[in-house]
């Protein structure tokens, strides 16, 4: 008997100390006490708070306890569980304690403020306890859909794909299936993906969210500028929009050819041939430091009046003179020289065919040799032929 009395006194003293330094109890009677270490928490709209509450019975007899909540704000909901199951009553042995989980769900549409409510426990006879709570809602609640992107602005050239990440939040109390769309001009391509799959709609649970990847492809040869891409997620009852931004620095494209497009000519062995080459910026961005080079057959020589172009604006062209020299020993036939214009961002090649002809001097010499040989044969025939 003395042992039980000492236990009861120790339990009462312990409870007093806990209440002095923590959340504590407003009212406790009949040996029934409620305790939680965290009775004042912050929460965002739509979030659920879970409190671990200890129910202590300092009496020597079993206490059958039921619970209710007083002062809970409108549209807030709660549940009380123990051992993972909802309970309506809890039995506690004498001089013992049990743990319950007290869950409170804050509605989505709510004002930013502090809210007070009390968990009350009723036992047998005069057994009664209260545990006050204060909950701070840290932001203004809404009952709507949110579509946001942490990085809505991206920069790149015209042939790049712009990839954005948008977060779609369902801040309503119902499951929503959102149709995804983008308001872009003809030529633009927009593709939505989530969890690695292409999609045109997405379903989100109440107060849930989903990260969506948005791939944007600009039209070919679009001018350098800043373009807005409005993106929308909509259902029959709610919708949200966000605007993405693509800064196009231009496309890089280059061509090298001749003024008339003819890529063939003839050349005499041992001689030179000058060819006019037209280097054109066919993209939409400025090109800098364009180098001009030639890949010639063995023993051929090439040189340019300008081997580089410092700056070439979009749509502009410049003529460069290339001089090719065929070796003396070149055999008659077709040879190919490849001209290349390279800016680093892009390049272009042109294969130029040259037909080598032998020198006229060698032709005259050959004719003279033939004539000398024929004359010699004629002389021999006239002088010795009739003998």
pLDDT above 80: residue 282: yes
Total Cβ atoms within 10 A of residue 37: 13
Give the pLDDT confidence score for residue 86 in this predicted structure: 95
Q: Is residue 80 part of a domain?
A: yes
Q: Is residue 261 part of a domain?
A: yes
3-state helix, strand, coil in the chain (%, to 5): 10, 55, 35
Tell me the per-residue pLDDT of 305-352, one tens digit each, with 9 for 90 and over.
Answer: 999 999 999 889 999 999 999 999 989 999 999 999 999 989 999 999
The residues near 296 (Cβ < 8 Å, ≥ 6 apart) are 302, 324, 337
Rg of the chain over all Cα atoms, to the nearest angstrom:
45
The residues near 128 (Cβ < 8 Å, ≥ 6 apart) are 27, 28, 29, 30, 32, 120, 121, 122
Tell me the per-residue pLDDT of 164-176, one tens digit each, with 9 for 90 and over.
Answer: 999 999 988 889 9
What's the mean pLDDT in 201-218?
95
Burial 163-188 (b: 16+ CB within 10 A, else e): ebebebbbbbeeebebebbbebeeeb
Give the pLDDT confidence score for residue 3 in this predicted structure: 44
Give the pLDDT confidence score for residue 278 in this predicted structure: 97
Q: Is residue 370 part of a domain?
A: no
Whole-prediction pTM: 0.54
Q: Is residue 371 part of a domain?
A: no
CATH at residue 17: 2.60.40.10
Could you tell me if 238 and 261 lie in one domain?
no
Could you tell me if 129 and 151 lie in one domain?
no
Could you tell me if 154 and 51 lie in one domain?
no
Q: Please calculate the CA angle 147-148-154 and round it to the nearest 5 degrees.
A: 130
pLDDT above 60: residue 23: no
CA distance 387 to 384: 6
What share of the chain in percent tops pLDDT 90?
71
List of long-range contacts for 5-11, beta carbons under 8 Å, 24+ apart: 7/95, 8/58, 8/60, 8/95, 11/56, 11/58, 11/95
- In terms of residue numbers, what domain contains 69? 2-137
Torsion 296-301-305-306 (CA) sign = positive
Could you tell me if 284 and 212 lie in one domain?
no
């Amino acid at each position: 008997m003395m042992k039980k009395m000492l236990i009861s006194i120790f339990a009462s003293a312990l409870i007093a100390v806990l209440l002095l330094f923590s959340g504590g109890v407003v009212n406790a009677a009949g040996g029934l006490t409620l305790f939680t270490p965290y009775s004042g928490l912050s929460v965002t709209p739509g979030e659920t708070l879970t409190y671990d509450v200890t129910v202590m019975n300092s009496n020597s007899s079993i206490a059958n306890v039921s619970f209710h909540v007083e002062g809970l704000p409108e549209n807030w909901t709660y549940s009380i569980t123990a051992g993972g199951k909802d309970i309506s009553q809890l039995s506690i042995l004498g001089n013992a304690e049990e743990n319950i989980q007290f869950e409170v769900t804050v509605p989505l549409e709510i004002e930013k403020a502090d809210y007070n409510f009390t968990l009350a426990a009723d036992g047998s006879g005069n057994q009664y306890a209260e545990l006050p709570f204060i909950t701070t809602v840290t932001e203004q609640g809404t009952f709507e859909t949110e579509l946001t992107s942490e990085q809505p602005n991206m920069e790149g050239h015209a042939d790049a794909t712009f990839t954005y990440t948008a977060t779609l939040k369902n801040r309503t109390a119902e499951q929503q299936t959102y149709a995804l769309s983008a308001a872009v001009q003809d030529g633009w391509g927009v593709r939505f993906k989530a969890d690695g799959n292409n999609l045109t709609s997405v379903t989100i649970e109440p107060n849930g969210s989903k990260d969506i990847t948005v791939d944007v492809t600009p039209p070919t040869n679009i001018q350098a500028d800043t373009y807005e891409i409005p993106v929308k997620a909509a259902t029959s009852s709610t919708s949200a929009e966000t605007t993405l931004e693509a800064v196009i620095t231009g496309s890089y494209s280059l061509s090298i050819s001749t003024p008339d497009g003819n890529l063939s000519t003839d050349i005499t062995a041992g001689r030179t041939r000058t060819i006019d080459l037209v280097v054109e910026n066919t993209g939409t961005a400025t090109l800098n430091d364009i180098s001009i080079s030639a890949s010639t057959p063995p023993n051929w020589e090439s040189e340019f009046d300008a081997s580089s172009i410092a700056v070439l604006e979009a749509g502009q062209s410049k003529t460069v003179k290339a001089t090719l020299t065929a070796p003396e020993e070149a055999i008659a036939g077709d040879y190919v020289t490849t001209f290349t214009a390279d800016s680093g961002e892009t390049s272009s090649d042109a294969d130029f065919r040259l037909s080598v002809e032998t020198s006229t001097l060698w032709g005259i010499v050959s004719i003279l040799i033939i004539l000398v040989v024929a004359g010699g044969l004629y002389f021999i025939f006239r002088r010795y032929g009739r003998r």
